[in-house]
């Protein structure tokens, strides 16, 4: 079913609600109309794709619980708040994409820091899914002030793949552009690593911007923070505002509720789901994240 006529959205939501009730392995039964509406929109109106998305994310929460184990960024992830900033910008692009800046501030990244970084992303993505309507995301990753080799040496490739699988396959994040801001030659190794994990389509959207001048050719200068030549509030100020928003009592309770949206795999009829979708170490050799 596709949403091609007025009134079909309500009908599609009802179909999803009824489907969830019938699926014994999906533990949470009350996702709410708003969540289902945004899921349908992210799946371009396809009910069948929406079913798969809900099913997939529930299973990921069961199979990879460590990524979903934090609910309060301010209290549980203090360390990562200084090591890296992850900041969606207030103004969207002309084609209705949300620009998100990831700035790595400190070389003192450990393997544990990466997991906290991924956990922070999950909290943020749940907030965006609950509140935002956009066509996709332009992600700027700023490596300009760190030693890229040092940071990469602490990266666990399997966990990176699992995180990207959750982000793209679980949350249906439409990554329109991935822009890496650095003039380090080591970036070639990172790009190669990521392209090995993701699909060719996503890989083709990864670009290296050696300086701000090149970045401004791709992202409208005026919507960027002042540090990046724009007129928006500083990235530090935006980060502080976002941390407050996603650490609010309301969102913490929402995270607790959504983390219960997992699966009971003993009640699932299909037996091949985990092999097809997960990106766990056993299937690392073959998975491509599209």
The span from the CA of 221 to the CA of 132, in Å, is 22
Farthest-apart Cα atoms in the chain, separation: 55
In the prediction, which pLDDT does 270 show? 56
Contact 201, 208 (CB under 8 A): no
* Per-residue pLDDT tens digits for 77-126: 999 998 999 999 999 999 999 999 999 887 778 889 999 999 999 999 99
Predicted local distance difference test score (pLDDT) of residue 65:
96
State the residue for tokens 């009730």. 21
Please report the pLDDT score of residue 110 as a whole number. Answer: 85
Average per-residue pLDDT for the chain: 90
Distance CA 88, CA 86 (A): 7
Query: Taking 80 as the threshold, does the pLDDT of residue 150 lie above it?
Result: yes
Phi/psi of residue 197, nearest 5 degrees: -90, -45
Question: With the CA atoms of 29, 32, 37 and 43 taken in that order, what torsion angle do they form, in degrees rounded to the nearest 10?
Answer: -30
Determine contact, residues 102/277, Cβ cutoff 8 Å: no
Domains of the chain, CATH where assigned: 8-68+259-276 (no CATH), 77-114+132-236 (3.40.525.10)
């Amino acid at each position: 079913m596709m949403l091609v006529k007025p009134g079909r959205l309500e009908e599609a939501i009802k179909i999803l609600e009824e489907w969830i009730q019938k699926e014994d392995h999906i533990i949470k039964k009350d996702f709410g109309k708003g969540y289902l509406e945004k899921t349908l929109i992210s799946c371009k109106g396809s009910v069948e794709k929406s079913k798969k998305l809900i099913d997939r994310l529930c299973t990921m929460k069961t199979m990879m619980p460590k990524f979903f184990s934090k609910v309060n960024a301010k209290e549980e992830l203090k360390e990562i708040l200084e090591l890296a900033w992850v900041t969606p910008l207030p103004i969207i692009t002309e084609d209705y994409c949300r620009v998100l800046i990831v700035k790595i501030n400190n070389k003192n990244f450990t393997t544990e820091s990466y997991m906290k970084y991924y956990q922070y992303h999950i909290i943020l993505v749940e907030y965006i899914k609950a509140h935002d309507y956009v066509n996709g995301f332009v992600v700027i990753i700023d490596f300009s002030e760190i030693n890229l080799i040092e940071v990469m040496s602490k990266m666990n490739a399997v966990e990176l793949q699992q995180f990207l699988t959750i982000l793209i396959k679980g949350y249906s994040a439409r990554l329109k552009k991935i822009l890496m801001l650095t003039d380090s030659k080591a970036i070639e190794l990172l790009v190669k690593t990521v392209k090995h994990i993701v699909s060719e389509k996503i890989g083709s959207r990864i670009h290296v911007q050696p300086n701000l001048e090149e970045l401004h050719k791709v992202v409208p200068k005026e919507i960027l923070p002042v540090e990046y030549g724009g007129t928006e509030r500083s990235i530090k100020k935006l980060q502080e505002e976002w941390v407050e928003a996603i650490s609010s009592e309301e969102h913490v309770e929402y995270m607790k509720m959504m983390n219960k949206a997992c699966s009971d795999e003993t009640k699932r009829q299909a037996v091949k789901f985990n092999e097809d979708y997960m990106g766990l170490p056993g299937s690392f050799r073959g998975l491509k994240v599209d």
